[in-house]
Structures are given as structure tokens and as C-alpha cells.
Amino acid sequence: ALSITSDGLTIRLEGGVEPNKPVRYSYTRQARGSWSLNWLVPIGHEKPSNIKVFIHELNAGNQLSHMSPIYTIEMGDELLAKLARDATFFVRAH
């Protein structure tokens, strides 16, 4: 599972294969504009077992202004298959 929560200032990610041992990351935003959650699903001969997740913050001109560290979250096969199709989740500022 993967969950994303935000209070406007902090974006929190939680996920993992084992429900009793989730991985938690927290990113404090540097700006107040829109942001997007992006992920990479590794490909190759081996089946992927994780995704790489990062946050882009955008300025008023929708240009990249800040980027979070790249986080690794272990995933199950079903969720990986769904995430491989779409790689960005965009949140527009009010």
C-alpha cells in the first residue's frame, strides 16, 4: 500500500509490503505553489520490488522550483503494475 497526506506544509508518504513495518518519509515544502508526486518503477530482467518516489514543487509559471530527496518504497506486484502505467500525481495550489 502507499498513502500520501499533506497539511499544506508537509507531505508525508507511507508504504511498504508489510503492514506492520511501513516505511515513512516526510518532506517539508520549500514553496507554496503546486506540487507533483512522481515515481519511477525500475525495469529489467528481474521483477521490480520497489518504486523511487520524489516530489517536484512548481512556481507560479509551473517551472520546477524545488525537488525532494528520492525515497524508496517496497511494493507488492499488484500495486507496482498499477503505478507503472502512470508516473505523476499533480496537486494544484488553491
pLDDT value at 49 more than 80: no
In this structure, what DSSP letter does residue 25 have? E
Query: CA-to-CA distance for 10 and 39, rounded, in angstroms?
Result: 18
Instruction: Report the CATH number that the domain containing residue 12 is assigned in CATH.
Output: 2.60.120.200
pLDDT tens-digit series, residues 55-71: 999 988 888 999 999 99
**From 17-21, 60-64, 67-71, 87-91, the region with the lowest mean pLDDT:** 87-91
Query: What is the band of 86 on the pLDDT scale with cuts at 50, 70, 90?
Result: low
Mean pLDDT score of the chain: 83
The total number of structural domains that make up the chain: 1
Question: Residue-wise over 2-39: b if at least 16 C-beta within 10 A, else e?
Answer: beeeeeeeebebebbbeeeebbebebebeeebbbbbbb
Domain limits at 71? 2-91
Query: CA-to-CA distance for 67 and 58, rounded, in angstroms?
Result: 9
